Structure 1
Amino acid sequence: MGARSPRDWLTSLPDNRICSLRWQSILRYAAITFIVSVTLSGVFLFRRPEGFLRSGGSHYFEYFWNRTANHPIDKLISDAHTFHENLLKERSFDIPAAATRYRERRGRHPPPGFDAWFRYAKEHDAIIVESFFDRIYADIAPFWGLDPRVTAERASSWEHVVRVRGGVANGTGNTEGKVPWLQLWTDLVAEAAPWLPDVDMPINYMDESRLIVPWENVSDLVGKEAAGRSIKLIDDVVTKYSGLAEVDAVADEAQPYHPKWLGGSYWNLTRVACAPDSPSRTVAPIENFEELPVFPDDWSPDYAYKGYVENFTSAMDPCVQPHLRGMHGTFAEPLTMSTSQELIPLFGGCKLTVNNEILIPGAMYLTDDPFYSGGDTHGPPWRQKIDGVVWRGVASGGRNKKENWSHFQRHRLIEMLNGTTVASMEENSSRTMTFEMPPVRKYDFPRRQERTIGTWLEKFANAGFVNLLCFPDDSDCAYVRPYFTELQGIPMKEQYKYKFMPDVDGNSFSARFRGFLLSTSLPLKATIYAEWHDDRLVPWLHFAPMDNTFQDLYAILDYFTRDRKGDKSARFIAEEGRSWGSKVLRREDMLLYVWRLLLEFARVCDEKRDVLGYIDDLNMI
């Protein structure tokens, strides 16, 4: 007798037996569906949020957050999620779409070589959103108002240059006794060099930014760029760069062009680069830094929502915050100062919003040094972390000395995280050398009302300097010894065991921010320095932003630690930041940024720049 089919076997059973089997199957599948559904919801909501968003779970996200929203940060997180979700809708997946979005946003054809650039992006799974590259065009725009040949010659003759010729990159300049930045940047450019035109990338080898062109001059140059912007007819477009043969012909005789370097008050130089109607433009520098820093009364900036940073770009801008002249070492006393008000081509890893360098990824982001990255270890899962905040570093930020140290941002952070100091302030209703307690009318939460922030910090915070960097060297740091004690360092990989990691400026930007973002901890970021990646990171979704006064520090930490929802919010941002950072802050992404930047810089240095462009996608139509 042949084998019966499953259908024959089923029809041979009694009706009640069939009914029983059907119900067992239904219940079994229902149970499995329920378990899978719950598991995926938990994974998507709290472990891989951006995957969750793209799979159609955004409505559930909004429902979860909004139905429990009773704090300003709830709204900021929800708004950040919505902004990011809309941003991803602008992603380009092929060259025609990318070129079209380029023309729409830039008002020009893409530069020649755009196709090779996009092909590399596609092959390396890069997320390409046109707005991610806005910084390039803001930095390059003023140079369209200068003579291209002059710009090219000044770029070529600088002391430290990454030079691309014939598809090969070389670093030129004496780096003896210097940090290895030139080699790190050269190695990065070398990966793209076979597809780059001949181009020079002059390097700023100082920590501090060096160019601050007055606002009126920059506005005039940017106005010239805007007036000359147009999408040329296909027949008028030139698709190959002219090259730098004429520049190279006189290179042996050329001397580095040095504009007039200025000293004096850095604040005075900064405010001249602010718009005439900006709050800081007419505010004079502080004359006596021995007086304690003054916090603004009833401070309610446009960039904040109910006391919390909403517009992080504006929160970095000293032009709208005159008080920063007394709350940041950059304006108190920079470690070194060699600044010009003339626009010359110079590339660097960070700058103030008013500076005129051309941004590239910081060299420290290109090194494998675990001091900056923490190595291959990025911390344990959130549930296994220490419920606390950690910070270790040196007392940098400028030249701190007896007369001015109370105005430095890192000193303020460490005092604010010192439980003993804060408890004494709460008990005596006093202030300390670097800060005042945040006003309770703005940051009203139980620990602030009950005056228990200090006792909480004694257990919660582990923060301190490993080197006080006092000036002069023979001062023995007597002027800060009553307030600070040098602590043992903690390797980055050990710091990642804590949930919360504040990140504030040193002499310039903090080179640890990328490492923090890629960890499993939550970065709390305050800075006045812009970086290459700013347009691809969303505050309150990838990190928690802080005001540069740090007056919101306690309230932010309280929100994330007061209850289960706060902890889930912290975990959500920490894990989303890590996941997103692993997609858009890779070495490949830094290469793509610099690659595209050099295509644009080569064009602005070309005599035929107004008609140079990529049009192959239009010829396909």
Structure 2
Amino acid sequence: MALISAPSVNNRFTQLFIAALLLVGIFWYIVPSSEVAKHISIPGLHSSSSPKPPPSTRPNALPPKPHHPIDHLIAEADVDLKTLLAKETHNVHDAAHAYRLRRGRQPPPHFDEWFAFAQNHSALMVEDFFDQIYTDLNPFWGVPAKQIREQANAFLHRISVRGGKTTQRTDVDERPWLNLWEDMVGSVAEWLPDVDLPINVMDESRVVVPWEEIDGYMQTELASRRVVEAAELKTEFVAAAGSLKALDDSPLLEFDPLFEGRGPYWPLAVVGCSPESPARKAYIETDFSTAPPLTGGFPEGSYEGYVSNWTLAKSPCDNAALQGLHGTFVEPISIATTKKFFPLFGGSKLPMNNEILLPPAMYWTDDPFYSGGKEHGQAWDKKRDGMIWRGAASGGRNKAENWKRFQRHRFVSMVNSTSVRTSETSGNAPQNFVLPAHNPYDLAVSPNETSFADWLSTWSNAAVVHLLCFPENPADRSHCSYTDRYFSVAHQMPMKEQYAYKYLPDIDGNSFSGRYRAFLFSTSLPIKATIYQEWHDSRLVPWRHFVPVDNTFADVYGIMEYFLGNEGMRVGGHDEVAREIAMGGKAWAEKVLRREDMQIYTFRLLLEYARLCDEERERMGWRESGVG
């Protein structure tokens, strides 16, 4: 038999290939594109050995809504980040110049050693990164240095630096957070002058001084600003060290700033707000047994419903409704607060509190519960296309008469398809949340339709792992008589397993959430709601490094539809945008939230604090070589 020539084979192959393409084209025209993606397999293009996405991952083949408000917020965030990066300095001269422009003073003594330490640890140097230090310390320019030293030395819980070594004092044998903070301070102690750091050993913030008093201190600080001439500068810490040695030799009686232990907390806290603030003018709630004060509309001050000013969104002073929406104000686990202004260091605080922020001890630990361990999650396209949240029903002392007002209870209820479906089908209003009335977020499916709960079920996996009932039944921690109808307890899930999901909400507990830094280092996307300040706030750009969500959670449905879309309603999401924020946030955290960055921040903070403790502080500073 004669063999077919090569050209004939090529021609026949071409004809078959064209015919196949025509059939595919006809099929593509007749069948919706999403069905094509499900059923067509072309040999050579889709190998059976190709990795498959997780079962819950949906193809991003549908068109998203054009001109979404979040697109605008992300574009603004890009500009903010570029503006921040443009301020980077690369040598001590430029860093000192940036300091003088922003702070109105000479840098503190040993500024060159601090800068060398930062450079040796490959830090990204932007003066704005240290703004929280001056928010916290500036009022102390209105307090005598001697008073600061004596109060700090006489406080019960403290870390002390003497001769480049650290010690601690407290009332019990072991306080793990205090040990971690001592280790953090100790890692830079060899470069530090002698200082005493009073430490807040509670979760809750404790110092809230009347706004009028703090304003007076701030006016004193502003009036005292001057860039001292080089020839006048006092460049060493001496006076404070001698005074501290005298205090060590003849210790003072314990300093008790008269902490109040009775609530409610809201009236104690709002004295730290401006007299013109909404919080100072608001009616004070005492009955928290009713549903929370929510409308389902856009949060106050938002951009078309989404957080545009993160500082404003977190501020109880500007959002008086938070007194009935957050456990901190409804009924905290404990209250020990004072109006006495004195130096007290802690890991987080409310905007109206006056603590001095250190990087939290939880961020310094290697405990996988807070750090997530060494693994930070799989590649984005290997993750489940949904949201995971696991945590205790903390936030304060939740009881039968107030649980409806707690933030974690509300969040879990809002994103739980069962609770939403119950509301939709029964006609009864939810116990602790509201669905967006009249669909202000223009969601593809109205929250008043049963298909809304169906949509939630495709992506949400949120549950409490401990109900923390009050009073608690030690024999059965999985049931709570007043919430059994609304919540079931899930097993704890290690953080490394949570990283299998793309979206990680982070919600306040009794204070800030200790998991936030680990979430930022992960390959998932953090979605953050909080009323607390932390040391790193000026380092993170919302909508570029994480997704901010309002404390009402009114915007959470719109956020999730923006990223995930709604395949049932043929609305596409923005999976690639989510991936970019997640990966960008991770890369940024690896530049500015490392353990080394916590050391650099602590080093700088304690140089400034030591200057405030010195009798010569008005003329103290760093002198550049060759100047003066």
TM-score of Structure 1 vs Structure 2, range by shorter chain:
0.7 to 0.9
Aligned to 2:38: none
The secondary structure found in structure 1 opposite 2:217 is helix
How far apart, in 2, do the equivalents of 1:462 and 1:277 lie? 41
Aligned to 1:520: 523
Aligned to 1:183: 179
**Greater CA deviation, 357-366 or 439-448?**
439-448
**Contact 2:180 / 2:364 at 8 angstroms: preserved in 1?**
yes
How far apart, in 2, do the equivalents of 1:177 and 1:210 lie? 21
Taking structure 1 as the reference length, the TM-score comes to 0.86
Aligned to 2:550: 547
1:227 Cα deviation (Å)?
A: 0.6
Change (3 A) 1:297 1:413: closer
Aligned to 2:264: 265
Deviations, residues 400-457 of structure 1 (Å, cap 9, x unaligned):
0111011000000111121111122233454211100023442111123655231122
How far apart, in 2, do the equivalents of 1:453 and 1:159 lie? 54
1:99-118 equivalences under 5 Å are 99-118=96-115
1:296 Cα deviation (Å)?
A: 4.7
Runs (5+) with no aligned partner, structure 2: 1-63, 566-570
Q: Does 1:601 align with 2:609?
A: yes
2:127 corresponds to which of 126, 130, 146: 130
How far apart, in 2, do the equivalents of 1:264 and 1:578 lie? 40
Letter in 2 for 1:91: E
Aligned to 2:6: none
Aligned to 1:248: 245
1:201 Cα deviation (Å)?
A: 1.3
Letter in 2 for 1:269: L
How far apart, in 2, do the equivalents of 1:369 and 1:507 lie? 19
The secondary structure found in structure 2 opposite 1:525 is strand
**Contact 2:425 / 2:450 at 8 angstroms: preserved in 1?**
yes
1:336-415 equivalences under 5 Å are 336-415=334-413
Letter in 1 for 2:606: L
Letter in 2 for 1:149: K
How far apart, in 1, do the equivalents of 2:278 and 2:225 lie? 32
**Contact 1:265 / 1:285 at 8 angstroms: preserved in 2?**
no
Letter in 1 for 2:542: P
**Contact 2:390 / 2:462 at 8 angstroms: preserved in 1?**
yes
Aligned to 1:214: 210
How far apart, in 2, do the equivalents of 1:161 and 1:139 lie? 18
Aligned to 1:224: 220
1:507 corresponds to which of 506, 510, 530: 510
More helix, by proportion: 1
1:122 Cα deviation (Å)?
A: 0.7
1:20-99 equivalences under 5 Å are 70-99=67-96
How far apart, in 2, do the equivalents of 1:300 and 1:482 lie? 29
Aligned to 2:559: 556
Letter in 2 for 1:152: R
The secondary structure found in structure 1 opposite 2:492 is coil
How far apart, in 2, do the equivalents of 1:313 and 1:69 lie? 28
Taking structure 2 as the reference length, the TM-score comes to 0.85
How far apart, in 1, do the equivalents of 2:321 and 2:74 lie? 28
Change (3 A) 1:140 1:165: same
**Greater CA deviation, 587-596 or 234-243?**
234-243
How far apart, in 2, do the equivalents of 1:158 and 1:497 lie? 45
The count of residues paired between Structure 1 and Structure 2 equals 552
Aligned to 1:487: 490
Letter in 2 for 1:253: P
**Contact 1:268 / 1:284 at 8 angstroms: preserved in 2?**
no
Letter in 2 for 1:378: H
**Contact 2:345 / 2:356 at 8 angstroms: preserved in 1?**
yes
How far apart, in 2, do the equivalents of 1:444 and 1:498 lie? 26
Letter in 2 for 1:490: M
1:569-608 equivalences under 5 Å are 569-608=577-616
1:176 Cα deviation (Å)?
A: 2.4
Aligned to 1:204: 200
Runs (5+) with no aligned partner, structure 1: 1-66
The secondary structure found in structure 2 opposite 1:422 is helix
The secondary structure found in structure 1 opposite 2:338 is coil
Aligned to 1:144: 141
Q: Does 1:286 align with 2:285?
A: yes
How far apart, in 2, do the equivalents of 1:564 and 1:291 lie? 38
1:557 Cα deviation (Å)?
A: 0.5
1:123 Cα deviation (Å)?
A: 1.0
**Contact 2:153 / 2:247 at 8 angstroms: preserved in 1?**
no
How far apart, in 2, do the equivalents of 1:289 and 1:301 lie? 22
Deviations, residues 371-417 of structure 1 (Å, cap 9, x unaligned):
11210111111100001110111111000011101100000011112
Aligned to 1:459: 458
Q: Does 1:437 align with 2:429?
A: no
How far apart, in 2, do the equivalents of 1:464 and 1:300 lie? 25
How far apart, in 2, do the equivalents of 1:238 and 1:291 lie? 61
The secondary structure found in structure 2 opposite 1:352 is coil
The secondary structure found in structure 1 opposite 2:381 is helix
1:460 Cα deviation (Å)?
A: 1.5
Aligned to 1:52: none
1:119 corresponds to which of 102, 116, 121: 116
How far apart, in 1, do the equivalents of 2:65 and 2:231 lie? 59
How far apart, in 2, do the equivalents of 1:232 and 1:565 lie? 56
**Greater CA deviation, 124-133 or 280-289?**
280-289
Aligned to 2:624: 616
How far apart, in 2, do the equivalents of 1:144 and 1:507 lie? 31
**Contact 1:420 / 1:455 at 8 angstroms: preserved in 2?**
no
1:173 Cα deviation (Å)?
A: 2.4
How far apart, in 2, do the equivalents of 1:413 and 1:212 lie? 28
Letter in 2 for 1:352: L
Letter in 1 for 2:391: G
Deviations, residues 226-255 of structure 1 (Å, cap 9, x unaligned):
011111111211001123222331334312
How far apart, in 2, do the equivalents of 1:207 and 1:331 lie? 14
**Contact 1:108 / 1:229 at 8 angstroms: preserved in 2?**
yes
How far apart, in 2, do the equivalents of 1:531 and 1:329 lie? 19
Moved over 4 A (4+): 296-300
How far apart, in 2, do the equivalents of 1:69 and 1:597 lie? 46
Change (3 A) 1:585 1:142: same
How far apart, in 2, do the equivalents of 1:571 and 1:426 lie? 33
**Contact 1:326 / 1:332 at 8 angstroms: preserved in 2?**
yes
How far apart, in 1, do the equivalents of 2:600 and 2:446 lie? 47
Aligned to 1:59: none
Letter in 2 for 1:286: E
Deviations, residues 60-105 of structure 1 (Å, cap 9, x unaligned):
xxxxxxx995100001111101110111010010000000000000
**Contact 1:69 / 1:75 at 8 angstroms: preserved in 2?**
no
How far apart, in 2, do the equivalents of 1:333 and 1:492 lie? 28
**Contact 1:375 / 1:493 at 8 angstroms: preserved in 2?**
yes
**Contact 1:271 / 1:282 at 8 angstroms: preserved in 2?**
no
Letter in 1 for 2:78: H
RMSD of aligned alpha carbons: 1.7
How far apart, in 2, do the equivalents of 1:177 and 1:236 lie? 46
**Contact 1:81 / 1:541 at 8 angstroms: preserved in 2?**
yes
1:299 Cα deviation (Å)?
A: 4.8
Aligned to 1:168: 165
Deviations, residues 291-329 of structure 1 (Å, cap 9, x unaligned):
221115755523x21100011111110011111111000
**Contact 1:361 / 1:590 at 8 angstroms: preserved in 2?**
yes
**Contact 2:154 / 2:251 at 8 angstroms: preserved in 1?**
no
